[in-house]
Structure 1
Amino acid sequence: MRAWLPTALRGLLLLALLAFLVSPESFEPLLKPLVQQDAPAIYNHGSLLSLTLQHLRTVFIATAAATIIAIGLAILVTRPIGAEFLPLSRSLVNIGQTFPPVAVLALAVPAVGFGEKPTLIALFLYGLLPIFENTLTALTNLPRSVMEAARGAGMTGFQRLFQVELPLSLPVIVAGIRLSVVINLSTATIGSTVAAKTLGEVIIAGLQSNNLAFILQGGLIVGALAILIYDSLSGVEKLLTRRVGRR
C-alpha cells in the first residue's frame, strides 16, 4: 500500500466514499449487473452510513485502549524499575497474534455476551503488538548524545520522558498505531459473526444470499477506509518526523 496518495486521488476517493454512503441508491446501475434477477443491488437491511460509523467507532475504541496500554508497557519496561518485566510484557502483547481473532471471539462471548464487547476484546488484543514493539524500538534507540545532554541539563527522569523521549519517539509510535488501525479495520468485520454492528454485516449478508454486490460493497468500503486512514496517518508521521529533524 502506498504511503502517500496524490492529493487529487485522495480527494476523489473520499468524495466517492461519502457519496456512496450518503446516497448508495445512486450507484445501483453500476452494481445491478452483479446480482441475480430481482435481487437487491444495494444493501437493504440497514444504513450503510450507520454501519460505517459504528465500524469506525469500534475500531477507534479498541485502538485507543491498545495504544494506552502498549505505550504504558513500553515505557515501564524501558525504565530500570521495570526492565525485568520485558519478557512478560512481550508474552502479553503477543497473545493477540498467537490466537486468531475468531478464537478470541469464541472465548469472549461466554464471558461478556454477544455484541460489541467481544469484538472490542479481540481488536484490543490484536492491536497491541505493533504499537508496543514500535514504542519499545523508539525508546531504546534514542540518540545517546541527546539523552546525555538532557541528563547534563539536570532533567529528572519524568522530564526526560515527556520532554525528550516521547516527542522524539512519536513518529515511530504513530507508525505502529497506523499499522494497528489498518489491521483492526479489516479484522473488525468478523465482529458481525457475534452480532456486533460492523461492515462485516454487509459481507455476511452477501455470502448468505449469494449476492456479489453486497460483498463488494462491504469490502470496498473497508478497503477505502483503510487506504484513507493509512494515508492520513502517514502524513502525520511525516510531519512529526520533520519536526523531530528540526529539533
Structure 2
Amino acid sequence: MRAAWPVRLVLWALVAIFVLWPGLFAPLLRPLAPPGMPVVYDRASLSGLTAWHLGLVAAAIVPSALMAIGLAILVTRPAGADFLPLARALGGFGQTFPPVAVLALAVPVVGFGAWPTLIALFLYGLLPILENALAGLTGVPPSVMLAADGMGMTPRQRLVRVELPLAAPLIVEGVRISAVIAISTAAIGSTVAAPGLGEVIIAGLNANNMAFVVQGGLLTAALALIVHDALGLAGGLVGPRGARARTAAA
C-alpha cells in the first residue's frame, strides 16, 4: 500500500493544478473538442465548481452521518432495541429510492438549486453509515463491556470512552463509502440547477463537446479517489489502534 502513495500524491497534485490552471491541459483536450469550440470549460471557474461540488457533498454527508450514528446508538441501547427494524427501513429507503426520483419530487417542494440535491445525497448516505455504525457498536467484545462496568462507568461514560472509540474505524469507513458515492451522485444535481461539476458534463453533452465531458467526468472521479484516500487515512488515525500509533510516534 505504501508503494502506491507516490502515485496518489501525484494524482492529488495534478488535480490541484488542473483545477487552478486548467488552460495548461488544453493541448491534451483539444482533439476532443469540435472545431471552433472552447476546449476548457469557461462559463464558470473549475475551482469554484469544484468547491461547490465538495461543499454540497459535505453539507449532505455531515447531517446524514449524525443522524445515522444517532440512530445506531439509539437502537443498540436496551430502551431503543425495538426500533432497529424501523432504523434499517429508513436507511434502506434512502438507498433504494433513486436519487433522480428524489430530485423530481423535491423540486416542486423546495424549488431548483442546491436543496433537491442535498436531500437526495442526505437520504442516499444514510445506509452505509448506519450499517457500519451498527456493526461497530455491536462488535465491541463482551469482555470489554464487562471491564468497563467493573470500573464503575455509567452507560454514558461507557458509550463515549469505550464503545464509540472501538467502533470509530468502522464508522469512518461508512462515512468514506457514503462520501465517495455522494461525489459521483452529486453530478446529477446540475439537472436541477445545483452548482457543481455536473454542470461541465451537461454542457459538454448539450454542445456535443467531449472535451467538457471528459474534464468534468475525470475531475469528479479524481475527487472521489482523493476523498476515499483521505478518509482512509482518517480511519487509521481513529480508535484505539490509531491512538496507540500516535502515542508511539510522539
> TM-score with structure 2 length normalisation?
0.94
Correspondence 1:145 to 2:143: yes
Deviation at 1:237, TM superposition (A): 1.5
Identity of aligned residues (%): 56
Equivalent residue for 2:173? 175
Cα distance in structure 2, aligned partners of 1:223 and 1:82: 39
SS in structure 1 of the partner of residue 34 of structure 2: coil
Cα distance in structure 2, aligned partners of 1:38 and 1:60: 38
Deviation at 1:240, TM superposition (A): 2.7
Equivalent residue for 2:69? 71
Equivalent residue for 1:50? 48
Cα distance in structure 2, aligned partners of 1:146 and 1:26: 56
Deviation at 1:7, TM superposition (A): 2.7
Instruction: Report matched runs for 1:21-32 at 5 Å.
Output: 21-32=19-30
> TM-score with structure 1 length normalisation?
0.96
Equivalent residue for 2:95? 97
Residue 15 of structure 2 aligns with an amino acid whose one-letter code is L
Cα distance in structure 2, aligned partners of 1:18 and 1:161: 40
Deviation larger for 48-57 or 224-233: 224-233
Cα distance in structure 2, aligned partners of 1:22 and 1:117: 27
Deviation at 1:121, TM superposition (A): 0.2
Cα distance in structure 2, aligned partners of 1:77 and 1:188: 30
Equivalent residue for 1:218? 216
Structure-2 change in CA distance of 1:103 and 1:30 (3 Å): same
Deviation at 1:245, TM superposition (A): 7.0
Instruction: Report matched runs for 1:1-247 at 5 Å.
Output: 6-240=4-238, 242-243=241-242
1:92-143 alpha-carbon deviations (Å, 9 max, x no partner): 1111111100000001111111100010000000000000000001111111
Cα distance in structure 2, aligned partners of 1:157 and 1:90: 24
State the 4+ residue runs in structure 1 displaced beyond 3 angstroms: 244-247
1:68-101 alpha-carbon deviations (Å, 9 max, x no partner): 0000000000001111111111111111111100
Cα distance in structure 2, aligned partners of 1:220 and 1:19: 14
Deviation at 1:239, TM superposition (A): 2.8
Structure-2 change in CA distance of 1:112 and 1:4 (3 Å): farther
Residue 62 of structure 1 aligns with an amino acid whose one-letter code is A
SS in structure 1 of the partner of residue 35 of structure 2: coil
1:138-184 alpha-carbon deviations (Å, 9 max, x no partner): 11111111100001111000000001000110000000000000000
Cα distance in structure 2, aligned partners of 1:121 and 1:55: 14
> Higher RCO, 1 or 2 (CA under 8 Å, sep at least 6)?
1
Residue 25 of structure 1 aligns with an amino acid whose one-letter code is G
Q: Give RMSD over aligned pairs.
A: 1.5
Cα distance in structure 1, aligned partners of 2:175 and 2:60: 11
